[in-house]
Amino acid sequence: AQKVTQAQTEISVVEKEDVTLDCVYETRDTTYYLFWYKQPPSGELVFLIRRNSFDEQNEISGRYSWNFQKSTSSFNFTITASQVVDSAVYFCALSELSYNTDKLIFGTGTRLQVFP
Amino acid sequence: GAGVSQSPRYKVAKRGQDVALRCDPISGHVSLFWYQQALGQGPEFLTYFQNEAQLDKSGLPSDRFFAERPEGSVSTLKIQRTQQEDSAVYLCASSPRVWEDNEQFFGPGTRLTVL
């Protein structure tokens, strides 16, 4: 069955620290997409990244980077030099190839608090 | 351009009342999704439309939940005879196409409180 696990419920760091958010997924499909979304206190989910199952290259976007490893079914997210504005709940999600839906299966989220 | 909008943003209902939640997707987006997010949890899938066709309603928790998208644009999620366990944030998302452009853009949600 499809499942996304974010074992870290809450992480607190001081500004400028690096922080890694873990995501482990389960799927029977060989073709799938993985996503990260940010949910700030305002509540609106903000899309951060999409990665398909055939592309294991790591990606960097500014202070954000993602490490996709199929061998361990993980898609971890690192924020370098964290800032207070990074405080939010971060969700990892999985979407499988299906003829009738692209639904997202979300993890339970990791709440990140960055203190000044 | 405008993002996904939802109305109302907040809804309080007495148990047993019917409610209707509206979603305006990004113009031209083919796919539309509804999710339910309980407090402290990740969003959970309810139903999916491709244009006006409801292709997946496997996540609807009971027959009290009904969704429609009659013209392939605006969608309404209706909950009949609301129960306290229906209290949650209801999120709508749209995406341009299936697969290649399948990142979903979310609205601000409707927070439903059933008393």
pLDDT by position in tens, chain B (length 115): 589 999 999 999 999 999 999 999 999 999 999 999 999 899 999 999 999 999 999 999 999 999 999 999 999 999 999 999 999 999 999 998 766 667 899 999 999 999 9
**Contact map slice: A 28-57 vs B, CB within 8 A:** 33, 35, 37, 42-47, 50
- Eight-state DSSP code of residue A45: -
CB of B56 less than 8 A from some CB of A: yes
d(CA B97, CA B101): 5
d(CA B31, CA B46): 14
